Structure 1
Amino acid sequence: MPLVRIDLPASVPAPAAAAVSRAVHQALVDIFQVPPDDLFHVVARRAPGELVCTPRFLGIEHGDRVAFVQIACSPGRTVGLKEALYDRIARDVARAADLRGEDVIVNLLETARENWSFGAGLAQYALQDRARPAVAS
């Protein structure tokens, strides 16, 4: 159920932008165990000046070609899984878009399942959760 927003420099060619999307999705499938058909991405290539990043932050030197990957997903993954995801995305996006791994910035937003609608005005996960029998404690 992740919703992924990917913002890339305009200099990244369309085929490379598509490869970035595939790389992020594959990382989510492999590391977060997202179903392969759970694919919801917004990919944008931004003109110069539309991607703003500080030159240095927390010991990381950033260049003038940065990529932002923002992933909204349900909560519950361990810090270790998140770290593995960040590492994989940085490496694979850098490779796909001819960027440096230091210039791939990832942000994970965790949101409750009832905050999602996948169309038809329905809260599909809320419906599923209500249909599950209660577990006695």
Structure 2
Amino acid sequence: MPLVRIDVTENRRTPEQLRALADVVQDVMLDTFAAPPRDRYQIVTEHRPGQIIAEDTGLGLARTDDLVVVQVVQQGRSEAQKQAMYRALADRLEQRTGLDPQDLIVSVTENTREDWSFGRGVAQFLTGEL
């Protein structure tokens, strides 16, 4: 059950391009994180130019205003799954949207079953509904 935030600079992509970006991310979640079908929780946020500041951390990366930051909140994925997800995102976003892999930052955060409520004020993982 990944929760994915996708941050981009506004006015760099059409609504259709944003949806394509989100669709690629979802496909990768299904393939590398074994997310169940229809388990899609994504928040796409556009920021004014200059509101995403991402330097290259000394790696020699050439960032542009096409930068995409993907944050994934999840539970129980292995190191191998995470590495597969990073690679698949870079490859597929480049192939399907033209995103330069240098313009992709991905961060994964772990939480537990007790950290989720999908509605009605209930922790469905703890009640056995999920």
Is the pair's TM-score, using the shorter chain for normalization, greater than 0.5? yes
Question: Residue deviations 1:33-65, cap 9 Å, x none?
Answer: 1011101110122221111101x2252413122
Which one has the largest radius of gyration?
1
Q: Is the 8 A contact 1:4 1:42 kept in 2?
A: yes
2:103 paired residue number: 103
Instruction: State the one-letter code of the partner of 1:81.
Output: Q
Give the 3 Å change call, closer, same or farther, for CA 87–60 of structure 1 in structure 2.
Answer: farther
How much does 1:6 deviate?
A: 0.2
1:47 paired residue number: 48
How much does 1:70 deviate?
A: 0.4
Q: Pairwise mapping of residues 57-136 of structure 1 onto structure 2 (< 5 A)?
A: 57-65=57-65, 66-74=67-75, 76-128=76-128
Structure 1: 5+ residue stretches without partners? 130-137
Structure 2: 5+ residue stretches without partners? none
Instruction: State the one-letter code of the partner of 1:102.
Output: Q
SS at match of 1:61: coil
Question: Residue deviations 1:68-117, cap 9 Å, x none?
Answer: 0001011x222111101011112223344432111110011110011000
Q: Is the 8 A contact 1:7 1:68 kept in 2?
A: yes
Q: Is the 8 A contact 1:8 1:17 kept in 2?
A: no
For 2:84 and 2:45, the matched residues in 1 are separated by: 25
Aligned Cα root-mean-square deviation (Å):
1.6
